[in-house]
Amino acid sequence: MENENIAVGLDIGTTKIVAMIGKKNEYGKVEILGIGKSKSLGVHRGVVNNITQTIQSIQQAVTDAETSSGLKIADVVVGIAGQHIRSLQHSDYITRADSDEVIDEGDIDRLCNQVHKLVMLPGEEIIHVLPQDFKVDGQAEIKEPIGMYGGRVEANFHVVVGQVASIKNIGRCVKSAGLELSGITLEPLASANAVLSQEEKEAGVALIDIGGGTTDLAIFKDGIIRHTAVIPFGGNIITEDIKEGCSIIEKQAELLKVKFGSAWPGENRDNEIVSIPGLRGREPKEITLKNLSKIIHARVIEIVEQVYLEIKNYGHEDPKKKLIAGIVLTGGGAQLKHLKQLVEYITGMDTRIGYPNEHLAGDSDSETTSPLYATAVGLVMNSIESKERVQNNEIDVVEEEVLSEGVESSQESGDTATQVQEKPKEKVKFFDKWAEKFKEFLDNAE
């Protein structure tokens, strides 16, 4: 099998690290070839706080994935989340020298680059600049300004910002684990790619990815991302509370949560009891399921209310911003029993559990379609896309050389030929430019 077309996503989470290898099959769907998972040590709330342990965990996940697929992993796309991520809205404009010229990619790039010059708080770096809608000469609500004419181009941007130090550390871990970093993406965007359908993004939807250390939110409307947020708690604080509340060790608390936990206390009768073995020679403990779900319920409500606050901040009550498709829950935390009902009860919005099978090949293993792997699947898709862009780009460059040699005699047509060919090359810029800068930044850091 050619190694060329395989793509690898590396999801560095708080509870687990997943390396996933995939490729596009002939139907344009993503086929998962191998998956490796290791316990994540050294990551706290999405931020690396122990580099040595994180490197070991990454290596273990990668080795597992290589073993299960029989392929060798060279480069990966990594997702970042973490409590340091914040997003802001910003609008900016450029004035063009000639308003009778067609607006092209170059103008849009100039506009986006201008946003990159925004002054951030010390130690922060812009991760994504996502244009929302454009205005050309005061004409509002333009989705695609390329091909229009005008002197002043304005845009509203959704800008995602993160801490340089935390991003650098992730980069260092990946490099030290012997891997190339081919790209870096915001995790809520990756999960959204894997779980949401185009119709949902058009209608308006909030994706809530409940991880171990953080809960990510991405809101789409009219097919465009409108709001992102990372809330610094997830499933782990539920486990913590069970541990404290029932005086048991973490491993037992996690098992209790997964096996018997429910977000809705009314479901359990008073006489349902779980017995937990005591530590070395001590008496076993008895815990009623009702109490267990009361503890979980209190915590889940807290998480959901925080997320709902972010949805309100986006302004979903405004009829124009209404989220018709409601809420989609994904991530490991979405597997909690009765969570869907609780979220519907708190927010009053339609809710479904999101499985990352939207773009996976039909015969995918049931394990890979678990909400647990939403981010990893999204990162693989992201990696496939960026590889395709690079390949198209190389083809264009070759074509361009052939063309300009062929038409050297008539210089003018040579020019048009090169211009025509350069269009797709521009397309690569947006994110790749940032990724390039970021890689340089890592190389200098070492």
Q: What is the DSSP letter of 15?
A: S
Which tokens go with 258? 């997964």
- What is the distance, to the nearest Å, from the Cα of residue 99 to the centroid of all Cα atoms in its chain? 38
Classified as helix, coil or strand, 432 is helix
H runs (alpha helix) in 177-209 = 187-195, 198-203
Write out the residue range of the structural domain in which residue 55 sits. Answer: 7-82+166-232+303-383
Helix axes 289-314, 250-260, angle to 10 degrees: 80
Q: Which of 383, 410, 438 is the last residue of a domain?
A: 383
Is residue 121 a part of any domain in this protein?
no
Q: Which of 299, 324, 344 is the last residue of a domain?
A: 299
Residues 270 and 285 in one domain: yes
Q: Are 339 and 258 in contact (CB under 8 A)?
A: no
Residues 293 and 342 in one domain: no
Residues 272 and 192 in one domain: no
Q: Cα separation of 375 and 435, whole Å?
A: 19
Q: Are 314 and 323 in contact (CB under 8 A)?
A: no
Residues 228 and 331 in one domain: yes
Q: Domain holding 38: CATH number?
A: 3.30.420.40
Residues 221 and 239 in one domain: no
Q: Cα separation of 330 and 355, whole Å?
A: 7
Q: Cα separation of 405 and 291, whole Å?
A: 78
Classified as helix, coil or strand, 213 is coil
Q: Which of 315, 305, 344, 329 is nearest to 221 (CA)?
A: 315
Residues 281 and 329 in one domain: no
| Confidence tier at 360 by pLDDT (50, 70, 90) | confident
What does R_g of the chain's alpha carbons equal in angstroms?
A: 24
How do residues 277-302 score in pLDDT, each as one tens digit?
A: 888 888 888 999 999 999 999 999 99
Residues 179 and 275 in one domain: no
Q: Chain-wide mean pLDDT for the chain?
A: 86
Which tokens go with 223? 């097919």
Is residue 160 a part of any domain in this protein?
no
Averaged pLDDT, 404-431: 44
Q: Which of 172, 176, 206, 238 is nearest to 311 (CA)?
A: 206
> Would the pLDDT of 446 be above 70?
no
Reported as type and span, the H/E element at residue 117 is none
How do residues 211-237 score in pLDDT, each as one tens digit?
A: 999 999 999 999 998 999 999 889 999
Is residue 215 a part of any domain in this protein?
yes
> Would the pLDDT of 412 be above 80?
no
Is residue 88 a part of any domain in this protein?
no
Domain count, the chain: 2
Residues 285 and 174 in one domain: no
